[in-house]
Structure 1
């Protein structure tokens, strides 16, 4: 089991931003991720910084911990420009980057680039773009020169030399709870990311949520089998905070949560860095004890 964290880009680098990333490495987290959004939910009217510059700065003040997005999406990203930024970040970090990618939601990012009167993409349209986005990004990070003409994206003799430090490219963590996304994860991902069943977040029980995650893992395994891939080769990541559970309520609550999900097949759990007066508020002392002592309870 791996334990990672996600640090929202909601603070100036000089006002606590730097210290959070350095402290995450000191605490021993496997990876520190950040959201790749233009703004997000209740944080919309407060400070919010870009993911790639934040991760670049974090790469300069850490040396061991992996870094990544959780997640970036086609809502406002293009594979060509994203690939160039990721190759640069992978180089600056010394090969410590994972790119979490997802289809995107219906929040602020989904409408920020629309013209007046233009309808937001439907879930099917987002899935269609994602199905084109992932394989093109895969090629752009793997091949020196790429040309492509698709329904949603194009690339004309795009050069990405010298490529990623990590070979054949930096890892993909594909976030998906739907079948099309799971198929992409099985085909292109080094990891698959779930937040559980979104329908159970407010009205479900922890037991129902765990059973839903088991079902998701089974379906991902089915898609791995379709491609001739051993499902054990696909890392399975659980981003907490969006299920009926409260794993950061206490040390014991986290150990119980992590143990149950490890038994179900999850091998990395991601917890949100505490943010006071938000949905990610938690006791800092409990959080740090979880970071430094919880995995030993699971071995």
Structure 2
């Protein structure tokens, strides 16, 4: 099992932002991700910076740490322009980029460009066209496509990704259509658990819900003749009834239960004071340096 972190783009680069990414590498995290949003929930009225420029700066400030989005969505992205930015990021980082991608939600991103928020079905429809087109844009030199939602006219992406055949996709999904995309195009699958259990569920109920999601992913893989073990399984924490950053022991217990479910990567949020991600920095750093050793990781 690997341990990674999320660094929200909420600090100016030269006022602590850079140091967070450097610290993540120093602590030994496998990867550091950031949200790809225009703003997010309780952070909406405070500083919030763009994911791609932040990751570009992080790539220049680090050497070994994998970097990525968790997650990008079609809410305000287009496959053609996103592909160009990803290829550039992959080049600048020396092949350390992972694209976390999902259908998106109904938050601020969904209306910031002036559109009405899409229904869950419309979001699924768009993702089902977005991911295959992005796959082509990142693996073919020249792509033309006429789709229902997205088009490309001789879009050129030379020389392509440093990582071959392209940078990895970590597909966030829990529904049947999203899981099919993860099975076909993903190098990893991402879940945050069952949102219905966040406030009123128990850790035991959450584990069972996630077990059910993993079983559905396995079925989606079987349906296309793929071995589910080819996919990494990533759990983004902070959205289940558990409180894994409450103490070192709480994390070890949490990680152990999800390791038994087959998860290969756990992602914890870097602490942000006076927010939903507030946590003891000393506990966070001990988890980073010692947590997985308790699991034989």
| Pairing 1:262–2:256 present | no
Which consecutive aligned stretches of 4+ in structure 1 deviate over 4 angstroms post-superposition? none
Q: Distance in 2 between matches of 1:138 and 1:82?
A: 11
**Normalization by structure 2: what TM-score?**
0.99
Out of 161, 168, 185, the position equivalent to 2:165 is: 168
The separation in 2 between residues aligned to 1:76 and 1:211, in whole angstroms, is: 33
Is the Cα contact below 8 Å between 1:247 and 1:257 reproduced in 2? yes
Cα separation, 1, equivalents of 2:64 and 2:24: 11
Counterpart secondary structure, 2:260: helix
For residues 185-224 of structure 1, the aligned pairs below 5 Å read 185-224=182-221
CA contact (8 A) 1:239 1:271 kept: yes
Gaps of 5+ in 1: none
Equivalent residue in structure 1 for 2:226, among 221, 224, 229:
229
- Equivalence for 1:69: 69
2:180 maps to: 183
5+ residue gaps, structure 2:
none
Q: How does 1:1-299 map to 2 (within 5 A)?
A: 1-115=1-115, 119-299=116-296
> Which whole-Å CA distance do the structure 2 matches of 1:66 and 1:246 have between them?
25
Alpha carbons 1:114, 1:120 under 8 Å: kept:
no
Q: How many residues align?
A: 296
**Is 1:241–1:272's contact at 8 Å kept on the other side of the alignment?**
yes
Deviations 1:94-136 (A, max 9, x none): 0000000000000000000125xxx311110011000000000
In structure 2, how many angstroms separate the alpha carbons of the residues matched to 1:230 and 1:214?
17
Tell me the distance in 2 between the aligned counterparts of 1:261 and 1:209.
10
2-structure distance, mates of 1:136, 1:92:
23
Q: What secondary structure does 1:165 align onto? A: coil
In the superposition, the TM-score normalised over structure 1's length comes to: 0.98
Determine the C-alpha separation between the residues in 2 that align with 1:234 and 1:19. Answer: 32
Distance 2:217 2:140 in 1: 27
Per-residue CA deviations over 1:238-297 (Å, capped at 9, x if unaligned) read 000000000000000000000000001111000000000000000000000000001110
Partners of 2:19 and 2:246 lie apart in 1 by 24
Inter-partner Cα distance in structure 2 for 1:199 and 1:128: 23
Distance across 1 between alignment mates of 2:36 and 2:199: 24
Shift of 1:177: 1.4
